[in-house]
Amino acid sequence: MSSLAVVVLDFGSQYTRLIARRLRELGAFSVILPGTASLEEILTHDPQAVVLSGGPASVQDPDAPKPDPKLFSSGLPILGICYGMQVLAQQFGGEVERGWRREYGKARLTHHEGALFQGLDGEVQVWMSHADTVTAPPPGWRVVAATEDCPIAAIASPDGRSFGVQFHPEVAHTPQGNRILANFLALAGVERDWTPARVLDSLVAEVRARTAGKRVLLGISGGVDSSALALLLSRAGVEHLAVLVDHGLLRQGEREEVEEALHSLGVNLEVVDARVRFLAALRGVTDPEEKRRRIGHAFIQVFEEVARRRGPFQVLAQGTLYPDAIESAGGTGAALIKSHHNVGGLPERLGFELLEPFRYLFKDEVRELARLLGLPDGIRLRHPFPGPGLAVRVLGEVTEERLQILRRADAIFVQGLKEHGLYHRVWQAFCVLLPVRSVGVSGDERRYGYVVALRGVTSVDGMTADWARLPHGFLDEMARRITRAVPQVGRVVYDVTSKPPATIEWE
């Protein structure tokens, strides 16, 4: 899989992951590395080109992050975007001036020329977000685009294979940005054969090579990632045991649905009923991070028991996705906001090797692979679900009674979304049970019932999210249906907070 890579060096731009996505949309496999990665590390991905992202620093600052100087004599074609262009300009002897005023927003190219801009139609709108500017191109480099406020908006290297652009071709506000990126890929000679079928072939090969002669243990959460991974192992003919731990924190009907689908697709699956153990571990606990810790610990115990009973296993497979990997590594500046779901500590404790074939994929890419692997749409397109499950959606102490209330309300909400054709228009939607009672009337009586919050968000990868504008009529129907069917619930509210500042989950 690595032989097709464009390495994107990240200098802290909010758009870095968009660059990677755009390149993949164009059929060029891309990997993000920290901006200061060594050339040796970059070369392990066998890249055909390198993109330098934007970033908040000024190249004038002595401690500004810079690429490994060896990169510039490596012969790799480079596209520098915004800060990345300034890095290129400075490196090759151009001039960069510190700007104290930020140019931010849409601009129009007043001039563009050359191969990077080939095939663009009509007026070319671009998105600008910068303070510093290149005021003189490096010797031998050509200025190939300008806007009214930015006379050096793009530069081309003497060999015509490296470029700097002051604007952001990766964002939607540069409508012809993909054309510009595609031109760069063509000029750099990057192969554009990143298709789901090819990815699947190379993953099958990778998994086979990594597990030859070894037995693999895999935790199944019920979501698309781990289910797809189980199917990948089956497809690769790898000897494995998939374990679905029913911790009692799953959604209504989830265990049965996963069990049925994976069995019918030939996955060697064991379901461990650990509901009593998890509930006991959570008794009296109200702190969200403590809940996560205890759940993680109980997971480890269950896996240790399975490994002892059914082992030995040499490899632990996990469905870690690219955003998880980036977030956990913290390498590109993302802070670890919540302790991570992947069963932390398990590989070290049991002496497992870790196998994470999806570590470079985004969720929609895994969904595409899952389609090729035959995963039913019910699981394939299901909204993401946190590892600690409903424990972080029952706020405060988790009890069986509260779980049951939440499960019923949640099933009604999810069903309602599907009936109204809204389910696939949101990234994630679920109910949260609040640990407060609110007053209501029922007949002549005042009653105190639970409050259920409905949460629906739109998002690309869960890192940022906007609250979903669900129709009022639909919300009204949900409130009626939930309070009617679940008598313990006295009030239903809708969460209208985006991420940031809120997170998607309430705990």
**Residues interacting with ligand XMP, by CB under 6 A?**
292, 337-338, 341, 384, 386-388, 428, 462, 499, 503-505
* Least distance from ligand XMP to the Cβ atom of residue 299, Å: 11
CA-nearest of 356, 368, 275, 17 to 171 is 17
Task: Answer for the pair 46, 35: CB distance below 8 angstroms, yes or no.
Answer: no
Q: What is the DSSP string of 363-428?
A: HHHHHHHHHHTT--HHHHTPPP--TTGGGGTB-SS--HHHHHHHHHHHHHHHHHHHHTT-GGGSSE
User: From the candidates 45, 112, 130, 168, which is the catalytic residue?
Assistant: 168
* Least distance from ligand XMP to the Cβ atom of residue 198, Å: 28
* Least distance from ligand XMP to the Cβ atom of residue 428, Å: 5
The SS3 assignment for 488 reads: coil
CA separation for the pair 107, 123 (Å, rounded): 10
Q: Which is nearer to ligand XMP, 144 or 504 (CB)?
A: 504
The SS3 assignment for 279 reads: helix
Q: 383 an active-site residue?
A: no
* Least distance from ligand XMP to the Cβ atom of residue 381, Å: 14
* Least distance from ligand XMP to the Cβ atom of residue 40, Å: 33
* Least distance from ligand XMP to the Cβ atom of residue 484, Å: 28
Task: Answer for the pair 217, 239: CB distance below 8 angstroms, yes or no.
Answer: no
CA separation for the pair 406, 213 (Å, rounded): 45
* Least distance from ligand XMP to the Cβ atom of residue 459, Å: 8
Q: Which is nearer to ligand XMP, 47 or 462 (CB)?
A: 462
CA-nearest of 351, 269, 358, 266 to 315 is 351
CA separation for the pair 298, 310 (Å, rounded): 18
Q: 168 an active-site residue?
A: yes
Task: Answer for the pair 162, 78: CB distance below 8 angstroms, yes or no.
Answer: yes
Task: Answer for the pair 362, 322: CB distance below 8 angstroms, yes or no.
Answer: yes
> Is the alpha carbon torsion for 272, 274, 278, 281 positive or negative?
negative
Q: Which is nearer to ligand XMP, 292 or 382 (CB)?
A: 292
Q: What b/e sequence results for 492-504 when a residue is b if at least 16 CB atoms lie within 10 Å of its CB, and e otherwise?
A: beebeeebeeeeb
* Least distance from ligand XMP to the Cβ atom of residue 449, Å: 26
Q: Which is nearer to ligand XMP, 90 or 320 (CB)?
A: 320
Q: 170 an active-site residue?
A: yes
Structure tokens at 461: 């990868």
Q: Which is nearer to ligand XMP, 239 or 466 (CB)?
A: 466
CA-nearest of 497, 502, 474, 478 to 489 is 478
* Least distance from ligand XMP to the Cβ atom of residue 114, Å: 42
User: From the candidates 82, 112, 368, 507, which is the catalytic residue?
Assistant: 82
Q: What is the DSSP string of 116-183?
A: GGTT--SS-EEEEEES-EEEEPPTT-EEEEEESS-S-SEEE-TTSS-EEESS-TTSTTSTTHHHHHHH
Return the half-sphere exposure (C-beta side, CA atoms, 13 A cut-off) of residue 165: 23
User: From the candidates 45, 112, 170, 431, which is the catalytic residue?
Assistant: 170
CA separation for the pair 401, 435 (Å, rounded): 12
Q: Which is nearer to ligand XMP, 179 or 407 (CB)?
A: 407
CA separation for the pair 67, 48 (Å, rounded): 17
Q: Give residues with Cβ within 8 angstroms of 247, minimum separation 6.
A: 274, 275, 277, 278, 295, 298, 299, 389
* Least distance from ligand XMP to the Cβ atom of residue 328, Å: 11
Q: Give residues with Cβ within 8 angstroms of 343, minimum separation 6.
A: 219, 296, 299, 300, 303, 318
Return the half-sphere exposure (C-beta side, CA atoms, 13 A cut-off) of residue 104: 4
Q: Give residues with Cβ within 8 angstroms of 115, minimum separation 6.
A: 156, 160, 183, 186, 187
Tell me the residue number closest to ligand XMP, measured at CB: 341
Q: Which is nearer to ligand XMP, 292 or 367 (CB)?
A: 292
Active site residues: 82, 168, 170
